[in-house]
């Protein structure tokens, strides 16, 4: 495998990336190629002296090809303030990697990490800058590295100069974020590249459809000690994404500071013939460090009972229950009865501003012990402000209490300070054997590989929006499977059983409803990946109801994942395996569909298919669910008939 790199610099310092085959004199224009192990993806890197609009000197550019078709045209590389122009080429080194690692907390248990890598060394006035490129079979990635040479030197990055130059006015699926607000709960919109401008900022991951060409996604991985990456558009007709870094305010000169050795996150271009290949990819996790924990046996994936979404209803099912001992014991009984791993105790459990003291109406020690006696762990919610500055003592206290994990909310930022806070919490939580759920936070970048106690995170417009808006409908929920889900675990909080057909939904915080059918909600437990999943509704909304037995049985981590049928933003059919059992989840937007699902993935033998399908009247009565069973083999097919906003869920169990 070969790796190609280039860099360009438009401000103070310049760093250069280059892969060369043979001797090149410093300053000469060069071109080199790096190929993926299977040869389908290639990176070409050139070092050129283009003057306008950047300072004079050599700058690196890169181009990405898929099956000899250009998907990223020559695009500038660089870091303003570090690598801008005038860098000198020092040399290139190449390596390869090929190993299989075990992931007990992901979408696939055995993951192959195979790539070719090239490291191009450049010298600016102040720094040596290495451009590191990797080529995988499902994408390419690159990052900037400033190694330690002698005494540690200060690093100040004004912004990132990295660009992604598309080959035309392609269709993109993107989340607009505004230029100042850092918020990952806007909708994802299908648009054209020409709809963007330098005044429009979008988040990653971002999905691209190149006409009849391959699917592509832009993302970042291994975010640590750095700011999150956003993209802005270029001038109309340029079809270029320009990287820009998160920051607290526009007055600060440097968006990232540090000392050498210093490395940036990976910039990632995923590519494949089918959208399903991108959704099955483990590229972002592969680009993170291996697990840092010697023992992961204490980390428990699973589902949680959760009182907040249904309005903390009383044991009699009435509003106004609050976070009381009686209410929490009621939910604890439900968790134990349903075989759930956790009870999540949300906002209202502690005294105002002090997350070390339970509120007067809650006997927390009693609830924790009550849960543990029944095989259930407690997760405690908190505002991040109340944890900042005292992470160690608070988490040590929770471990002493017997708490199983923490849910941390209202982070809403991926500037370096907030990234450092989140990564520190995950590392410290691992020391105290606590799992972590981040809410009100940015998207995942693969940290869950290094610290698998990070079970899930929000960074999405989730089911909670049904409390106050109509913005979480099936058009949105299907779109998430192709956009936000590319980044990693997604705490959408599915499972609402008060289901409303189109036109019948009303926002409500007490006994809230969902939009679309019950089977649409069931399918989310397969389509959406999250090692920690919520059973969001009130216990009596589940007891004796069709479909809850599927939720009880469905796993939250998997041995294998297949996307069987998909059309971005329209519908998706996903199959996942745990042990010998397969689970299918199918979701459609507000359009009814009939999709034939081939079962060739099953392999030999016969299976009992337990099918949860939209009822004949589900278009009007969204809770209508038909349950059937049949014996099937790999040569058979299942017909998914999904109502508007509908779905299908299937459990396939070996007969022998």
Sign for the pseudo-dihedral over CA of 526, 531, 536, 541: positive
User: What CATH number was assigned to the domain covering residues 301-458?
Assistant: 3.20.20.70
What CA–CA distance (Å, rounded) separates 472 from 419?
Answer: 28
The yes/no answer on whether domain 460-529+553-656 falls in CATH 3.20.20.70 is yes
Name the token pair of 148. Answer: 């330690």
pLDDT at 650 over 50: yes
Q: Is there a shared CATH topology between the 30-286 domain and the 301-458 domain? A: no
pLDDT at 149 over 80: no
29 vs 37: which has the higher pLDDT: 37
pLDDT at 1 over 60: no
pLDDT at 560 over 70: yes
What are the backbone angles phi and psi of residue 132, rounded to the nearest 5°? -105, 120
Sign for the pseudo-dihedral over CA of 287, 289, 290, 291: negative
pLDDT at 547 over 70: yes
Name the token pair of 546. Answer: 């069709």
Looking at residue 321, its pLDDT comes to 80
Q: How confident is the model at residue 377 (pLDDT cuts 50, 70, 90)?
A: very high
**Range in 53-62, 122-131, 380-389 with the lowest mean pLDDT:** 53-62
pLDDT at 367 over 60: yes
Looking at residue 162, its pLDDT comes to 97
Mean pLDDT value of segment 80-94: 87
The yes/no answer on whether domain 30-286 falls in CATH 2.40.50.100 is no
Nearest to residue 449, comparing CAs of 341, 299, 270, 577? 299
Looking at residue 576, its pLDDT comes to 98
Q: How confident is the model at residue 4 (pLDDT cuts 50, 70, 90)?
A: very low
Looking at residue 160, its pLDDT comes to 97
Looking at residue 588, its pLDDT comes to 98
pLDDT digits (tens, 9 = 90+) for 158-168: 999 999 999 99
Q: How confident is the model at residue 50 (pLDDT cuts 50, 70, 90)?
A: low
Q: How confident is the model at residue 125 (pLDDT cuts 50, 70, 90)?
A: confident
Provide, rounded to the nearest whole percent, the portion of the chain with pLDDT above 70: 94
47 vs 19: which has the higher pLDDT: 47
pLDDT at 237 over 70: yes
Nearest to residue 42, comparing CAs of 73, 93, 3, 92? 3
Contact criterion met (CB below 8 Å) for 205 and 483: yes
Looking at residue 24, its pLDDT comes to 37
Q: How confident is the model at residue 179 (pLDDT cuts 50, 70, 90)?
A: low
User: How many degrees, rounded to 5, is the angle at CA 105 between CA 487 and CA 647?
Assistant: 65
pLDDT at 29 over 80: no
Name the token pair of 181. Answer: 């607000």
Nearest to residue 650, comparing CAs of 616, 613, 599? 613
Looking at residue 156, its pLDDT comes to 95
Looking at residue 11, its pLDDT comes to 29
| Mean pLDDT of the residues in the chain | 92
330, containing H or E segment: helix 325-338
Q: How many C-beta atoms lie closer than 10 Å to residue 291's C-beta?
A: 17
3 vs 103: which has the higher pLDDT: 103
CA distances from 396 to 206, 366, 402 (A): 38, 19, 10
Looking at residue 180, its pLDDT comes to 63
Domain spans in the chain, listed from the N-terminal domain onward? 30-286, 301-458, 460-529+553-656
Q: How confident is the model at residue 19 (pLDDT cuts 50, 70, 90)?
A: very low
pLDDT digits (tens, 9 = 90+) for 327-357: 999 999 999 999 999 999 999 999 999 999 9
pLDDT at 27 over 70: no
What CA–CA distance (Å, rounded) separates 24 from 448?
Answer: 41
Looking at residue 185, its pLDDT comes to 94
Looking at residue 90, its pLDDT comes to 86
Our measurement of the distance from residue 256's CA atom to the centroid of its chain's CA atoms, rounded to an integer in Å, reads: 23
Looking at residue 167, its pLDDT comes to 95
Q: How confident is the model at residue 181 (pLDDT cuts 50, 70, 90)?
A: low
DSSP string, 398-448: HHHHT--EEEEE-----SHHHHHHHHHHHHHHHHTT-EEEE-S-----SHH
408 vs 211: which has the higher pLDDT: 408
Provide, rounded to the nearest whole percent, the portion of the chain with pLDDT above 90: 82
Mean pLDDT value of segment 226-254: 90
DSSP string, 353-382: TEEEEE-TT--HHHHHHHHHHTT-EEEEEE
**Range in 109-118, 241-250, 446-455 with the lowest mean pLDDT:** 241-250
Mean pLDDT value of segment 2-15: 30
**Range in 50-54, 355-359, 436-440 with the lowest mean pLDDT:** 50-54
Mean pLDDT value of segment 117-134: 91
């Amino acid at each position: 495998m070969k790796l190609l790199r280039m860099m360009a610099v438009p401000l103070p310092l310049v760093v250069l990336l280059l892969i060369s085959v043979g001797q090149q004199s410093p300053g000469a224009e060069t071109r080199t190629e790096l190929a993926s192990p299977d040869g389908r993806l290639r990176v070409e890197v050139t070092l050129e002296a283009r003057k306008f609009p950047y300072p004079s000197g050599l700058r690196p550019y890169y181009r990405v090809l898929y099956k000899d078709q250009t998907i990223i045209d020559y695009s500038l590389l660089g870091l303003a303030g570090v690598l801008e122009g005038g860098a000198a080429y020092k040399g290139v080194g190449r390596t390869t990697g090929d190993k299989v690692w075990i992931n007990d907390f992901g979408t696939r248990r055995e993951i192959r990490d195979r790539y070719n890598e090239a490291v191009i060394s450049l010298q600016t006035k102040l720094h040596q800058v290495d451009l590191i490129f990797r080529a995988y079979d499902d994408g390419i990635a690159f990052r900037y590295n400033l190694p330690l040479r002698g005494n540690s030197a200060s690093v100040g990055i004004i912004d990132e100069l990295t660009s992604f130059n598309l080959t035309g006015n392609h269709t993109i699926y993107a989340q607009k974020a505004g230029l100042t607000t850092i918020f990952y709960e806007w909708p994802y919109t299908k648009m054209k590249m020409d709809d963007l401008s330098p005044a429009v900022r979008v988040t990653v991951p971002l999905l691209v459809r190149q006409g009849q060409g391959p699917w592509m996604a832009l993302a970042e991985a291994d975010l640590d000690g750095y700011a999150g990456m956003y993209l802005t558009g270029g001038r109309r007709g340029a079809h270029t994404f320009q990287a820009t870094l998160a920051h607290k305010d526009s007055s600060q000169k440097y968006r990232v500071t540090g000392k050498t050795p210093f490395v940036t996150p990976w910039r990632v271009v995923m590519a494949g013939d089918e959208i399903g290949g991108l959704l099955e990819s483990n590229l972002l996790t592969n680009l993170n460090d291996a697990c840092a924990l010697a023992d992961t046996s204490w980390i428990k994936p699973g589902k949680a009972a959760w009182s907040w979404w249904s309005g903390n209803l009383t044991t009699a099912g009435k509003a106004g229950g609050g976070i009381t001992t009686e209410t929490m014991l009621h939910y604890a009984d439900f968790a134990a009865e349903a075989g759930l791993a956790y009870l999540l105790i949300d906002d209202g459990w502690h005294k105002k501003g002090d997350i070390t003291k339970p509120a007067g109406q809650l006997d927390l020690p009693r609830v924790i012990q009550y849960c543990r006696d029944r095989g259930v762990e407690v997760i405690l919610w908190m505002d991040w402000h109340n944890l900042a500055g005292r992470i160690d003592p608070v988490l040590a206290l929770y471990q002493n209490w017997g708490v199983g994990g923490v849910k941390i909310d209202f982070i809403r930022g991926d500037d370096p300070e907030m990234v450092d806070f989140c990564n520190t919490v995950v590392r410290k939580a691992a020391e105290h054997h606590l799992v972590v759920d981040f809410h009100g936070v940015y998207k995942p970048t693969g940290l869950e590989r290094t610290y698998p106690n990070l079970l899930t995170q929000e960074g999405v417009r989730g089911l909670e929006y049904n409390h106050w808006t109509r913005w979480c409908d099936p058009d949105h929920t299907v779109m998430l499977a192709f956009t936000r889900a590319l980044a990693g675990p997604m705490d959408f909080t599915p499972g609402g059983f008060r289901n409303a057909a189109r036109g019948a939904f009303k926002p409500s915080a007490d006994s809230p409803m969902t939009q679309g059918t019950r089977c649409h909600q069931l399918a989310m437990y397969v389509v959406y990946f999250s090692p920690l999943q919520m059973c969001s509704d009130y216990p009596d909304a589940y007891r004796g109801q069709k479909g809850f037995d599927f939720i009880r049985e469905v796993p939250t981590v998997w041995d294998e994942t297949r996307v069987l049928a998909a059309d971005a933003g329209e519908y998706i059919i996903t199959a996942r395996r745990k042990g010998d059992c397969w689970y299918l989840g199918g979701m459609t937007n507000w359009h009814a569909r009939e999709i034939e699902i081939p079962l060739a993935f099953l392999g030999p033998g016969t299976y009992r298919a337990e099918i949860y399908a939209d009822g004949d009247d589900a278009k009007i009565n969204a809770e209508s669910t038909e349950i059937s069973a049949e014996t099937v083999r790999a040569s058979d097919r299942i017909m998914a008939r999904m109502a508007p906003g509908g779905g299908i869920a299937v459990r396939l169990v070996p007969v022998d």
